[in-house]
Amino acid sequence: MNQDTNQPLAGQVAVVTGAARNIGRDIALALAADGAAIVVNALQDRDAAEAVAAEINAAGGRAVAHLADVTDEAQANGLAAAAIAAFGRIDILVCNAAIRRQQPFLDIPFAEWKEVLAVDLDGPFLCCKACLPHMVEQGGGRVITIGGSTLHILTPNRAHVTAAKMGLLGLTRTIAIEFGDKGITANCVAPGHIDTVRGGSAGKRSTGGIQRPIERLGRMDEIAAMVRHLCRPEGAYITGQCIHVNGGMYLAGA
């Protein structure tokens, strides 16, 4: 355990997918503030990814940007290889890259179904396959997946997103079971309605949970704070969990 309470992740390396903007960016900055070296992944926006890495480096941290399509096995392997080449190890994997689509069930084209499952479920599978062997070799690590409220409150018109995120939760819990004895924890953080910049293809923000006790939208840094906690030493006994950060929009047991 690192004894520097100001930088409890010093000496560790985190790979954060989809880190060029929004929640992924805040996660990268939060882990960097705790001392972790960061691999900032993006699909194609090199300028945005390099801007996040530059912000971390300017603050005294260490970061590199690496473009990779996480749905492609060779590129997912290349992302892990880039982390090893830059920093020599992988301690934390945050599977944040995801896409949202919104269509009534009967209007969902099969191609769109496959696209959502590829990014939201296949991507984390491939990244875990690429990164976990390094954590096993080191004797420990953290896997954090970013789920969502969709599968818990059953938002309409998102059958593909719901199916993918349900599968992601199952994947996360399986990793927790299979790798716990190797010092690796795996948890899912499920955001509620967060104030992010949304692409047009994501559709309108759902009205599910509108009566949540905390009526405002969540902040991106509030999601990053939970990820940060799970990666810190005090999060070492938390595994296999789905942790909801949603202002109370989902209050049932998960």
- How many CA atoms does the CB half-sphere of 196 hold within 13 Å? 23
Residue range of the domain that includes 236? 13-245
**219 located within any domain:** yes
254 in a structural domain: no
Looking up residue 45, the CATH number of its domain turns out to be 3.40.50.720
* Residue 21: inside a domain: yes
pLDDT band at 204 (very low <50, low <70, confident <90, very high): low
Give residue 214's pLDDT band: very low, low, confident or very high (50, 70, 90): confident
How far is Cα 57 from Cα 227, in angstroms, rounded to an integer?
21
Percentage helix, strand, coil for the chain under 3-state DSSP, each rounded to 5: 45, 15, 40
Q: Is the pLDDT assigned to residue 87 strictly greater than 70?
A: yes
- Residue 120 within any structural domain of the chain: yes
CB 25 within 8 A of CB 52: yes
Q: What is the 3-state secondary structure (H, E, C) of 90-153?
A: CCEEEECCCCCCCCCHHHCCHHHHHHHHHHHHHHHHHHHHHHHHHHHHHCCEEEEEECCCHHHH
Domain assignment present for residue 147? The answer is yes
Q: Indicate the pLDDT class of residue 200, thresholds 50, 70 and 90.
A: very low
Band (20; pLDDT cuts 50, 70, 90): very high
Question: What interhelical angle do 110-117 and 159-179 show, nearest 10?
Answer: 30
pLDDT digits (tens, 9 = 90+) for 108-118: 999 999 999 99
Confidence check: pLDDT of 30 > 70: yes
Residue 146 has pLDDT above 50, yes or no: yes
Is the pLDDT reported for residue 93 higher than 90?
Answer: yes
Is 5 a domain residue? no
The mean pLDDT value for 11-23 works out to 98
Task: Report the pLDDT averaged over residues 54-76.
Answer: 98
Among 228, 223, 69, residue whose Cα is nearest residue 149: 223
- 157 lies in some domain: yes
Neighbours of 182 (CB within 10 A): 14
Mean pLDDT of 14-33: 98
- 252 within a domain of the structure (yes/no): no
pLDDT band at 158 (very low <50, low <70, confident <90, very high): very high
Which whole number is the average pLDDT over 192-200?
72
Residue 64 structure tokens: 């590199």
What is the four-CA torsion angle of 215, 219, 220, 223, rounded to 10 degrees? -60
pLDDT digits (tens, 9 = 90+) for 166-182: 999 999 999 999 999 99
Residue 188 DSSP symbol:
E
For the chain, give the mean pLDDT: 92
pLDDT of residue 121: 98
pLDDT mean over 3-22: 92
Task: Look at the chain and report how many structural domains it folds into.
Answer: 1
pLDDT at site 209: 45
Q: What percent of the chain has pLDDT over 70?
A: 92
Return the CA Rg of the chain. 17
- 8 A C-beta contact, residue 134 and residue 28: no
Alpha helices by DSSP H, 139-210: 150-153, 159-179
Dist CA 211 CA 148 (whole Å): 17
* Cβ–Cβ < 8 Å for 94, 15: yes
Question: Is the Cα dihedral 90, 122, 111, 105 positive or negative?
Answer: negative
Return the SS3 of 185: strand
